[in-house]
Amino acid sequence: MSSNIHSYCFLRARKSLFSLLRSQYQSPHANYSTNSDRRRVVVTGLGVVSPVGCDVETAWRTILSGQSKVGRLAGETYDKLPCRVAATINTDQIDLEKCFSKTELKTMARATAFALIAAKESLSMAAWTPPIDDEEACQRTGVAIGMGMVDLMDICETNEALKKGYNRVSPFFVPRILPNMPAGQLSIRYGFRGPNHAVSTACATGAHAVGDAFRFIQHGDADVMVCGGAEACISPLGIAGFCRLRALSTAFNDEPTASSRPFDERRDGFVMGEGSAIFVLEELEHAKRRGAQIYGEILGYGLSGDASHLTAPREDGTGALLAMKRAIADAGKTIADIGYVNAHATSTPIGDAIEARSIRTLFGEHTKSVAVSSTKGAHGHLLGAAGNLEALFVVMACRHGVLPPTVNLHNVTDDMAGLHYVANSSEPWEGNRRRIALKNSFGFGGTNACLCIGEYSE
């Protein structure tokens, strides 16, 4: 009896202690039960390193111009592969040796370097670089940056070095290939001590990173989040691996700018790209108090799983459909509120058709009122940095009232008809209602993400 009483008293005391700790340390900004009570999350900074431009204004102008920046891959090794095109970033655009010291470059992968450069632009745009000794600001600022794949050549070259001797292996080898290092390097560089989060969900990585950051702010874990994705894995081995999956375009090696053609009847696979796009997301009242410029608003976030196939989307499109439905519901909106869908559409025969059907199914009688495009025709598929780069263009579209085009879209097949595709040339976003869009991102393994993004409105 005595032991039972002691156990009962101990459990009651522990429960009381946990309740006290919760009440004492629970954030005053905790998530609420209704959409109207939740903390609003706005975009106050944007930064980009991409094949279409290495600053926001240049990238946006290029996208609106309808130009493709896909080029031919040079080199004897590439000449032996079925796919010989990609959207790369050359030294004329960004010279990493001028941006970082040799010592710094030894510690980071190319993707990490891209992320740091994009983050610098984004933080500058947001005017948010609190000094490291500003404890509150640094503790309330977090980082969420993902990477889909590590640099396979880094691994191959290190393996060759090991064959020559143990001491030939760089002590920075492991940090260079860890997917969380863009987030880690950025956190260290700026002293941000809020959530330090990394996502690796294949081609949905960038969208998941932005969505997770959105929720961190909503739930009161941070006031500011620096978020996005980075990717730099174009190499002979990377190209060969995707070729063996029959995922890449091989029909336009002699006409690279025509190779990435989302939704077009002649599409035959995606084109690899590289780069990074970084957002500064901020709680609305925090942004207002410091007089920050607001570029857009993240309204909702939806996730789903196909539970179907390693690389192909679910044939009935329910994975994409669920993600879109959940993003709209999370935003507290209806399908009638959505005016634009920035599609994942990578230029693959199966994936584009399934996504088109999913969009038609979701919007039903409202389908003709919704514009659809994929900017991958211009910059290729950035894998883990695709969703965030394209979300950046969605923010710009909502802000400026201009819809970005799908490059190389000339004819659609019957199974994809019925949608209002923005083809080859930009279009004005017409209508008097608030501009609200969906951004889709889907990845191998059946992982899906959708962001609901809107024009900022008081």
Residues forming the active site: 203
Q: Among 213, 212, 211, which residue's Cα sits nearest to residue 226?
A: 213
CA distances from 93 to 48, 300, 304, 329, 397 (A): 12, 34, 37, 40, 24
* Pair 234, 44: CB distance under 8 Å: no
Helix (H) or strand (E) holding 43: strand 41-49
Structure tokens at 83: 């796919």
Neighbours of 2 (CB within 10 A): 6
Angle value at C-alpha 161, between 157 and 164, nearest 5 degrees = 150
The 10 Å CB-count burial string (b at 16+, else e) for 322-338 is: bbbbbbbebbebebebb
Q: Which residues contact 178 (CB under 8 A, 6 or more apart)?
A: 150, 184
Q: Which residues contact 217 (CB under 8 A, 6 or more apart)?
A: 39, 41, 223, 224, 225, 281, 282, 283
Question: What whole-number distance in Å separates Cα of residue 152 and Cα of residue 135?
Answer: 39
